[in-house]
């Protein structure tokens, strides 16, 4: 778009996009092709093969880049991938055997599995640290090549100081990558706080409709973007055009959806904190959160993710989850529908019991992805489910 004064809601609809030049189509077309005709030998219009370039994919990338770079004056870039794990893998492919990675300890179970079961076997060293509680100088030693952090984390919703960790990462020559899936660029923009790159599982809030799987990496570093594109073209983990089109369609309502997710979640947090059967409640913007000051400093709000501990054992927690009706038992998040799960036996089951205990993931920990239904129905559903679980 011309100019740099457009607000976020406008960028979500128009950022990196314009009507298709041949027909004037307002919605970007789906370019469902594997290859492109050339006018002569090695004479093409910039498109040779769909693994390398696809116009639909480029529209999605430009849109995400415009949102993650909304606070920046320099250009921002993005590369789209077939999944969030593929986006995470793309960053790891930039490393060499023997490189050291400092990662947050409370991370998505699939990321933990990828680091410890796949890339560690290639000679990359991973140290898992609670980045929300330690001095960055102690957590990130000299020789670190990559700092990987989720903030807020999954599933305990811990918050780490992005600016402080970014300053230490640059001091030791490390690259800082922030998984921004939970907060989205609506509420947090790590690039403006000093991060080198941002990762999203676009499966979640960015798409928002539980009908596609994808990932993206955004950066303001043109050299890093070029390296990522080389890796993606070589590995071949790009998304298909229909996935990109669906994600781009969902992205346009991201600001609206996130406001409703947040409003519903805040009402549920108040209800949960007052319930006698509920122990600790984890929500970054709640006054009870241990890092609430950091959260409010670097985030403008938060979405629909809540974790809490029932004052119960695993069997009772299972009965509670299975008694829900509006909340659907499922292992994803960020869609318009509300989801519920038990991380210890679902999303984080790939972690060893010892790793879960060390991180603080209790057997009775419940994770909610609060959707955009009417909040009174959501509260009533949790209330009846707690009653059913404990009456048994």
Q: Is residue 1 part of a domain?
A: no
Q: What is the mean pLDDT of residues 352-375?
A: 91
Residue 1 pLDDT level (bands cut at 50, 70, 90): very low
Report the range of poorest mean pLDDT among 10-24, 89-103, 135-149, 292-306: 10-24
194 and 287 both lie in a single domain: no
Give percent of the chain above pLDDT 70. Answer: 99
Does 270 participate in catalysis according to the annotation?
no
**pLDDT for 347:** 84
Catalytic residue among 100, 204, 260, 367: 204
Q: Is residue 69 part of a domain?
A: yes
**pLDDT for 287:** 96
Q: What is the mean pLDDT of residues 192-214?
A: 98
Mean confidence (pLDDT) of the chain: 95
pTM of whole model > 0.85?
Answer: yes
Catalytic residue among 99, 105, 161, 179: 179
Residue 358 pLDDT level (bands cut at 50, 70, 90): confident
Q: Is residue 275 part of a domain?
A: yes
289 and 241 both lie in a single domain: no
**pLDDT for 360:** 85
**pLDDT at residue 281 greater than cutoff 60:** yes
246 and 264 both lie in a single domain: no
Give percent of the chain above pLDDT 90. Answer: 90
Q: How far apart are CA 364 and CA 312, in angstroms?
A: 7
**pLDDT at residue 98 greater than cutoff 50:** yes
**pLDDT at residue 5 greater than cutoff 80:** no
Cα 22 to Cα 25, 26, 28, 54, 359, distances in angstroms: 8, 11, 11, 16, 54
87 and 194 both lie in a single domain: yes
291: CATH: 3.90.1150.10
**pLDDT for 2:** 44
Q: Is residue 304 part of a domain?
A: yes
Catalytic residue among 59, 105, 108, 225: 108
Q: What is the mean pLDDT of residues 29-49?
A: 94
Q: Is residue 239 part of a domain?
A: yes
pLDDT: which is higher, 350 or 240: 240
276 is in which domain, residue-wise?
A: 255-391
243 and 335 both lie in a single domain: no
Cα 332 to Cα 73, 173, 209, 348, 368, distances in angstroms: 34, 35, 11, 12, 10
**Domain edge (last residue) among 251, 278, 299:** 251
Q: Is residue 2 part of a domain?
A: no
288 and 365 both lie in a single domain: yes
**Domain edge (last residue) among 225, 251, 277:** 251
**pLDDT for 18:** 87
Q: What is the mean pLDDT of residues 57-74?
A: 96
**pLDDT for 263:** 98
Cα 179 to Cα 64, 125, 148, 191, 215, distances in angstroms: 14, 19, 8, 11, 11
**Domain edge (last residue) among 233, 251, 269:** 251
241 and 195 both lie in a single domain: yes
The pair of three-digit structure tokens given for residue 197, joined into one six-digit string: 């790159």
**pLDDT for 354:** 86
179 and 303 both lie in a single domain: no
Report the 10 Å Cβ neighbour count for 142: 9
Residue 367 pLDDT level (bands cut at 50, 70, 90): very high
Does 204 participate in catalysis according to the annotation?
yes
Q: Which residues contact 254 (CB under 8 A, 6 or more apart)?
A: 12, 67, 184, 186, 205, 206, 208
73 and 86 both lie in a single domain: yes
245 and 341 both lie in a single domain: no
**pLDDT for 91:** 98
Does 356 participate in catalysis according to the annotation?
no
298 and 222 both lie in a single domain: no
Q: What is the mean pLDDT of residues 17-36?
A: 92
Q: How far apart are CA 122 and CA 97, in angstroms?
A: 6
**pLDDT for 3:** 43
Q: How far apart are CA 304 and CA 371, in angstroms?
A: 7
Catalytic residue among 51, 227, 249, 280: 51
Q: What is the mean pLDDT of residues 245-266?
A: 98
Does 277 participate in catalysis according to the annotation?
no
**pLDDT for 4:** 56
Highest average pLDDT, of 19-33, 38-52, 180-194, comes from: 180-194
128 and 159 both lie in a single domain: yes
166: CATH: 3.40.640.10
Domain tally, the chain: 2
**pLDDT for 357:** 82
Q: What is the mean pLDDT of residues 220-243?
A: 98
């Amino acid at each position: 778009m011309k100019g740099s004064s457009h607000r976020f809601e406008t960028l979500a609809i128009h950022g990196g996009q314009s009507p298709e030049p041949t027909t004037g189509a307002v919605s970007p077309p789906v370019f469902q092709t594997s290859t492109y005709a050339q006018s002569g030998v090695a004479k093409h219009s910039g498109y040779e093969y769909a693994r390398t370039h696809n116009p639909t994919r480029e529209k999605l990338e430009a849109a995400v880049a415009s949102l993650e770079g909304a606070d920046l004056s320099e250009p921002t870039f993005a590369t789209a991938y077939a999944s969030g794990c593929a986006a995470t893998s793309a960053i790891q492919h930039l490393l060499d055997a023997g490189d050291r990675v400092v990662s947050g300890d409370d991370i998505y179970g699939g990321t933990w599995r990828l680091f410890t079961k796949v890339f560690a076997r290639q000679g990359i060293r991973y140290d898992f640290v609670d980045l929300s509680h330690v001095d960055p100088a102690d957590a990130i030693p000299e020789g670190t090549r990559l700092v990987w952090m989720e903030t807020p984390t999954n599933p305990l919703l811990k918050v780490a100081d992005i600016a402080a960790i970014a300053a230490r990462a640059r001091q030791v020559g490390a690259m800082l990558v922030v998984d921004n899936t939970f907060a989205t660029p609506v509420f947090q923009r790590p690039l403006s706080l000093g991060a080198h790159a941002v990762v999203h599982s676009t499966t979640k809030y960015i798409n928002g409709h539980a009908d596609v799987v994808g990932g993206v990496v955004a950066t303001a570093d043109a050299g890093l973007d070029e390296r990522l594109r080389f890796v993606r073209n070589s590995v071949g983990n790009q998304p298909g055009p229909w996935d990109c089109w669906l994600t781009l369609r969902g992205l346009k309502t991201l600001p609206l959806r996130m406001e409703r997710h947040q409003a519903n979640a805040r009402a549920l947090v108040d209800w949960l904190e007052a319930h006698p059967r509920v122990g600790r409640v984890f929500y970054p913007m709640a006054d009870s959160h241990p890092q609430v000051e950091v959260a409010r400093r670097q985030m403008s709000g938060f979405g629909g993710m809540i974790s809490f501990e029932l004052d119960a054992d695993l069997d009772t927690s299972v009965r509670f989850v299975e008694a829900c009706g509006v909340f659907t038992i499922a292992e994803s998040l960020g869609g318009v529908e509300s989801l519920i799960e038990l991380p210890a036996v679902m999303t984080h089951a790939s972690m060893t019991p010892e790793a879960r205990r060390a991180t603080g993931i209790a057997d009775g920990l419940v994770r909610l992805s609060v959707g955009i239904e009417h909040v009174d129905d959501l509260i009533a559903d949790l209330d009846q489910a707690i009653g059913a679980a404990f009456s048994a």
